[in-house]
């Protein structure tokens, strides 16, 4: 039985997408999702934290945050902008994408 180019193409595209996600997870290491208040607590413990932030949402605005600490990447999502101490270095990203 033949499924034609469309059936095989869709399956191939899905397999390729899965491979891309797997590669992204390998490249990024462990991503630990925490609550916004826990993210702020962790950030406040660092001397000069580097934080990546992105704003998203169409109907409901939200903010996504990433920060690397001790070999892990911490991630949180918040409906409001989080405030950090003055020594924090904040990088505005166009988009944050978490594999999975």
CATH code of the domain covering residue 71? 3.30.720.90
What integer pLDDT is reported at residue 2 of this predicted model? Answer: 47
Instruction: Quote the pLDDT of residue 52.
Output: 96
Q: With respect to residue 100, please indicate whether it lies within any of the assigned structural domains.
A: no
Residue 54 lies in a domain: yes
Tally of domains in the chain: 1
As a dihedral over the C-alpha atoms of residue 59, residue 91, residue 25, residue 98, rounded to 10 degrees, the angle is -10
**pLDDT tens track of the chain, all 100 residues?**
444 445 556 666 666 655 665 565 555 567 899 999 999 999 999 999 999 999 988 889 999 999 999 889 999 999 999 999 888 999 999 999 887 6
Residue ranges of alpha helices (H) inside 29-89 are 36-45
How many CA atoms lie within 13 Å of 26's alpha carbon, on the beta-carbon side?
6
Residue 10 resides in a domain: no
The distance between the two most distant Cα atoms of the chain, rounded to a whole number of Å, is 65
Residue 43 lies inside a defined structural domain of this protein: yes
Question: What local confidence, expressed as pLDDT, does residue 57 receive?
Answer: 85
Range of the domain at 81: 30-92
Let me know if residue 87 belongs to a domain: yes
Q: Looking at the whole model, is its pTM more than 0.75?
A: no
């Amino acid at each position: 039985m033949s499924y034609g180019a469309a059936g095989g193409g869709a399956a191939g595209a899905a397999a390729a997408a899965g491979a891309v996600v797997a590669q992204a997870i390998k490249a990024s290491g462990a991503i630990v999702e925490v609550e916004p208040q826990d993210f702020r607590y962790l950030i406040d413990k660092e001397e000069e934290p580097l934080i990546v932030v992105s704003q998203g949402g169409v109907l409901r605005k939200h903010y996504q945050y990433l920060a690397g600490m001790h070999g892990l990447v911490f991630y949180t999502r918040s409906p409001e902008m989080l405030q950090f101490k003055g020594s924090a270095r904040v990088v505005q990203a166009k988009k944050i994408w978490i594999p999975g």
